[in-house]
């Protein structure tokens, strides 16, 4: 962790030795005439420190942005390839890089780590937001994950820290992004909505306008748990909602003697049948499973909301070392390799996914 600024390159490599691998990752010379990814990274860090906006930040914020500059292209090591056109490409490197940062920076506090993850994830947004299927929703959604003025700052350093013929055009795109986000009211804060239900529906509708106001007609709550095996989901439930019915995939697996490594289709089907019975009765309940990716969470959230439920997601975070330790003491331990693989897939729930999203940091052994 970088605790103070400024710092030199050797300090950065001492703290994050995995950065050195970027010196062997080539980039397309047309867009990155400076050379390999590590050379570009150092240039981005230098350019970031020259920006007056960065210099005006508090030391902790400067440190966060410096880390983001160091890690913004960490995904290129895994994603770089030569395309059919003979050019060097790194598709999805921001998404992959965000996952790498989440895994490698577990010693950071949860809030700081996830801000860093989202900076890496969205560092290219100011350059490409207008090519998204719905630019407005892409920008507004990102504002609920990370401050967009920080994203724009990182993007500007990224552009200035390279040798390319279209630098002026790229900087114009960033300027347009700043103007667009400001007009939407989300450049330095999450876009305000009339209420949580309006926000929830905006992100799940193709027709709702950004300033519409919806009446919150939800009349009962469904809580979706999220977290890796051993994070403490069962403990949280027993301490906070001991009287609520729990639809538990682990319980169904145990009752049906279905191992976690087997096909889970039957487990999910049975769990949904339990959930629908409770939903029809407007009975508050908890859906307890790992729910690690948005791809898995979204259909369930849609199901619960279709019955008029107020949907809350409770994410429990715990470091990998603690997860593995707890897992070894479980009666039904999950293979360690499975937990490590799940960690690589983890997408921490973000605010636009439900009516309410809570993060809970659990570091108690």
Q: Are 81 and 130 members of one domain?
A: yes
Residue 179 pLDDT greater than 80, yes or no? yes
Instruction: Identify the domain boundary among 136, 161, 184.
Output: 184
pLDDT digits (tens, 9 = 90+) for 138-147: 999 999 999 9
Q: Are 169 and 313 members of one domain?
A: no
Q: Are 171 and 243 members of one domain?
A: no
Residue with tokens 């967009």: 148
Does residue 175 form part of some domain?
A: yes
- On whether the CB atoms of residues 355 and 312 are closer than 8 A, the answer is yes
Signed CA dihedral, 338, 341, 345, 349: sign only: positive
Q: Are 124 and 231 members of one domain?
A: no
Q: Are 174 and 284 members of one domain?
A: no
- On whether the CB atoms of residues 127 and 170 are closer than 8 A, the answer is yes
Q: Are 105 and 24 members of one domain?
A: yes
Model-level pTM? Answer: 0.93
Domain count, the chain: 2
Does residue 200 form part of some domain?
A: no
pLDDT at 6 (0 to 100): 54
Across 43-61, b (16+ Cβ under 10 Å) vs e yields: bbbebbbebeebeebeeee
Does residue 93 form part of some domain?
A: yes
Percent of the chain with pLDDT over 70: 97
Domain that holds residue 315: 220-361
Does residue 211 form part of some domain?
A: no
d(CA 232, CA 361): 10
Residue 186 pLDDT greater than 50, yes or no? yes
357 three-state secondary structure: strand
Closest by Cα among 150, 141, 126 to 63: 150
CATH number of the domain enclosing 43: 1.10.3210
Does residue 306 form part of some domain?
A: yes
Q: Are 29 and 143 members of one domain?
A: yes
d(CA 176, CA 183): 11
CATH number of the domain enclosing 334: 3.40.50.300
Q: Are 73 and 20 members of one domain?
A: yes
Across 73-95, b (16+ Cβ under 10 Å) vs e yields: bbbbbebbeeeeeeebbbeebbe
Residue 364 pLDDT greater than 80, yes or no? no
Q: Are 41 and 162 members of one domain?
A: yes
Q: Are 176 and 235 members of one domain?
A: no
- Mean pLDDT (the chain) is 93
Q: Are 180 and 33 members of one domain?
A: yes
Does residue 115 form part of some domain?
A: yes
- On whether the CB atoms of residues 113 and 105 are closer than 8 A, the answer is yes
d(CA 353, CA 361): 19
Q: Are 177 and 102 members of one domain?
A: yes
DSSP state, 191? Answer: P
């Amino acid at each position: 962790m970088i605790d103070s600024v400024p710092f030199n390159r050797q300090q950065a490599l001492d703290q994050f030795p995995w950065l050195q691998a970027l010196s062997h990752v080539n980039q397309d010379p047309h867009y990155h005439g400076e050379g390999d990814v590590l050379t570009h990274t150092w240039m981005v860090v230098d350019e970031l420190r020259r920006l007056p906006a960065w210099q005006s930040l508090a030391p902790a914020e400067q440190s966060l942005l410096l880390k983001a500059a160091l890690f913004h292209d960490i995904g290129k090591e895994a994603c770089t390839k030569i395309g059919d056109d003979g050019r060097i490409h790194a598709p999805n490197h921001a998404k992959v890089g965000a996952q790498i940062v989440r895994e490698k920076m577990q010693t950071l506090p949860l809030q700081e780590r996830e801000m860093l993850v989202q900076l890496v994830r969205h560092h290219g947004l100011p350059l490409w937001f207008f090519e998204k299927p719905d630019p407005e929703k892409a920008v507004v959604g990102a504002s609920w994950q990370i401050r967009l003025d920080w994203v724009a700052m990182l993007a500007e350093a990224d552009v200035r820290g390279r040798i390319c013929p279209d630098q002026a055009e790229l900087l114009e795109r960033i300027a347009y992004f700043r103007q667009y986000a400001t007009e939407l009211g989300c450049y330095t804060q999450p876009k305000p909505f009339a209420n949580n239900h309006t926000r929830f529906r905006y992100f799940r509708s193709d027709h709702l306008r950004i300033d519409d106001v919806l009446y919150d007609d939800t009349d009962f709550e469904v809580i979706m748990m999220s977290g890796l095996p051993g994070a403490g989901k069962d403990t949280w439930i027993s301490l906070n909602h001991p009287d609520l019915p729990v639809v538990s995939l682990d319980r169904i697996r145990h009752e049906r003697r279905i191992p976690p490594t087997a096909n889970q289709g039957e487990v999910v089907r049975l769990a949904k049948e339990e959930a629908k019975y409770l939903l029809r009765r407007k009975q508050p309940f908890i859906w307890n499973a790992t729910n690690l990716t948005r791809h898995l969470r979204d259909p369930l959230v849609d199901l619960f909301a279709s019955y008029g439920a107020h949907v809350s997601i409770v994410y429990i975070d715990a470091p990998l070392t603690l997860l593995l330790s707890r897992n070894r003491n479980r009666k039904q331990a999950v293979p360690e390799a499975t937990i490590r693989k799940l960690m690589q897939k983890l997408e921490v729930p973000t605010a636009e996914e439900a009516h309410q999203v809570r993060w809970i940091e659990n570091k108690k052994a």
